[in-house]
A and B are shown apart, each in its own frame.
Chain A
Amino acid sequence: MTTSLTHAPPEAAHRGRPAARRGAHARRVFSAVGFLLPFGVLFAGLMIAPICYALYESLFRLHRSGLGLSAPTTSFAGLGNYLTALKDSVFTSSILRVLLLGIVQVPVMLIAALILALLLDARSTRFKRTFRLIYFLPYALPGVIAAIMWSFLYAPGVSPYASAIAHLGVHVDFLSQHMVIFSIGNMITWAWTGYNMLIIYSGLQAIPPELTEAAHMDGCRGWRLAWHVKIPLVRPALVLTTVFSIIGTTQLYNEPAILYRVAPTVTSSYTPILAAQHSADINNYNYSAAQSIILAAVTCVLSFGFLRFTQRKAADG
């Protein structure tokens, strides 16, 4: 992965003039620590500490007296909050919802991204730079601004898409009970297809031209060239985009957070992060912590599980 060769003090150097060399070495290690210190402190304080804090908090439970007259007390609950979360159908269905969404949306998006990348990479394609730029443009919009924009594009009576479709005699409500999950899927696909396309396209551009030339000479071109030569060679990019997309779907927040305010079909606990935020809003911090930890665990299991799965398949093949 990284091929950096550092010529900083190799061990052999100590044989020369031990004391002086060791002094220089110590000074350099000292400087290296100094350079690393600001990031290290912030990393520990703002990435590791919050997770530890959430883990700790998730093991306690707040007790309020019936009338709320006396101050609430905290007691050790062990894994009680986790058991509650697993039995909480609102929370478990929020996880199932993002998983189902991911199973449908991630393949659709990545296949579209792959097709566009292959088309951009094809020799006969014209206006490559323009198309690449257009596809990537949605990524330049802040996620929540894009969500606000789509909330208008979906709103009944406002949506220009709905009125265009109405001309064909079909009436759709993008925010209805059955449609809203597809509408959210479309928002994610719109925002991220170009980003994924660009990563795959970079992979395609890195294929040595001799390789495709040779395949071409053997009469392998068009979709056969793509299928037999190019796609296997961009496998790493495909694995990477899949992992990022899986992670992204489980963290779904912006789109439902905006639609929640305008569509009654999106509930306050629509996705896991919204559910955990809702718990914090009603001052149940311990439960919110447990929900956050469960989400983190699910995310890690999914992404590392997928990586492991593809690695094993690569080893078999």
Chain B
Amino acid sequence: MTTTTTRPRSAASPTGHRPAVRGIPVASAAGRTGAMLVMLLAALYSLLPIWWLIVTATKNKGYLFTTNGFWFSHFDLWSNIRDVFDQDNGIFGRWLLNSLLYSAGGAATGTVISVMAGYALSKYAFRGRDAVFNTVLGAVLIPAPLFALPLYLMFSSVHLVNTLWAVFLPSIVSPFGVYLSRIYASASVPDELIEAGRLDGASEARIFWRIALPVMSPALVTIFLFQFVGIWNNYLLPALMLSNDQLQPVTVGLAGWRAELNNGVPYNVTITGAFLSVVPLIVAFLALQRFWRSGLTAGGLK
């Protein structure tokens, strides 16, 4: 519905990109060069810090800051990686595993819950439906950090702090996921399909699991992806909730190492650790671009 926004421009001008063909002059050469320059500078601004991180992660720990920060030298990536996994009895692997468990478990559970709710809000008419949906929409606008401290205070009073549940439970509630699910259910699940299922005598639950869910699977990927990355990137909530470093995700662990830099955690460990925790995200980001964009545009063009 709202996701069909990336119309290919070439369709608009079948004669090609150059308006000059139809008697309109192309943008001036100076203008185009200036535009290209601005875009290149912006690209440099975006890329340089990440480039520095990659380059520095590969350097021998004796030459981290004495050599040009933006170019390779004294390549020693493998022993840096070994150092990261050896530090503090190999806790880095544990952190990665924790992040993976929180993100995959939370996103999978959260996606199912969101899709069920979004489907119900899209395909069933009942009194108060709009009120429910508006409440969800309002919650989309309230940023998660606002809930973190109240949650911490509440969980402290019931002694849930410093347990897995303190991070897992809040992670699976996603009003944005419900919002996206409702849009996708309205757009992609035809009512005729549901009616046909009913005529065949299928129960409502069976119609949902066997008919609606497969049709919505591309949407499921988008919602899962957003929630996975949201949980993986989250810092405030686990930083508040988990003081036990065996339970911490990689974000909290690395921030702890960064703070311990003056107390013996070597630079190369923190820098290569940051690099390692970013690599899977960048790979996933590049591989799954399509899903990113569809979720963002749906969120952006309500």
Contacts and interface: CB of A to CB of B under 8 A. Distances in A.
Interface of A: 1-10, 27-29, 31-36, 38-40, 42-43, 46-47, 49-51, 53-54, 57, 112, 115-116, 119-120, 122-126, 131, 133-135, 137-138, 140-146, 148-153, 157-160, 163, 190, 193-195, 198-199, 202-203, 205-206, 209, 213, 216, 221-222, 236-237, 240-241, 243, 247-248, 251, 253-254, 257-258, 261-262, 273, 276-277, 280, 285, 288-289, 292, 295-296, 299-300, 303
B17 A2 contact: no
Contacts of B116: 35-36, 38-39
Interface string B44-69: 01110110110010000000110011
B20 to A, nearest CB: 10
B19 interface: yes
Contact of A8 (B123, B142, B229): B123
A236 B300 CA distance: 9
21 contacts: A6-B191, A8-B191, A31-B205, A35-B124, A38-B113, A123-B9, A125-B36, A135-B42, A137-B50, A138-B49, A141-B50, A145-B254, A150-B49, A153-B49, A158-B64, A160-B68, A163-B69, A205-B7, A209-B7, A222-B31, A261-B255
Contacts of B240: 277, 280
A289 B150 contact: yes
A289 B124 contact: no
Contacts, number: 300
Interface string B119-147: 11111111000001100100101110111
Nearest to A253: B236
Nearest to B109: A38
A50 B120 contact: no
B276 to A, nearest CB: 10
Given A124-B17, A213-B12, A262 B261 contact: yes
Interface of B: 1, 5-7, 9, 11-13, 17, 19, 24, 26-27, 31-32, 35-36, 38-39, 42-43, 45-47, 49-50, 52-53, 56, 64-65, 68-70, 113-114, 116-117, 119-126, 132-133, 136, 139, 141-143, 145-154, 156-157, 169-170, 172-173, 175, 178, 182-183, 186, 191, 195, 204-205, 208, 229, 232-233, 235-236, 239-240, 251, 254-255, 258-259, 261, 267, 270-271, 274, 277-278, 281-282, 285-286, 289, 293, 296-297, 299-302
Contacts of A202: 5-6, 293, 296-297, 300-301
Contacts of B254: 144-145, 148
Given A47-B147, A198-B300, 11 more contacts: A2-B186, A5-B186, A8-B123, A51-B147, A53-B157, A115-B38, A137-B50, A148-B274, A202-B6, A257-B255, A295-B146
B5 A206 contact: yes
Given A39-B116, A160-B52, A222-B31, A46 B173 contact: yes
Contacts of B39: 116, 119-120, 125, 131
Nearest to A281: B240
Given A39-B173, A137-B47, A144 B235 contact: yes
The residue among A123, A222, A280 with the most chain B CB atoms within 10 A of its own CB is A123
Secondary structure dominating the interface of B: helix
B113 A42 contact: yes
Contact of B117 (A36, A47, A137, A251): A36
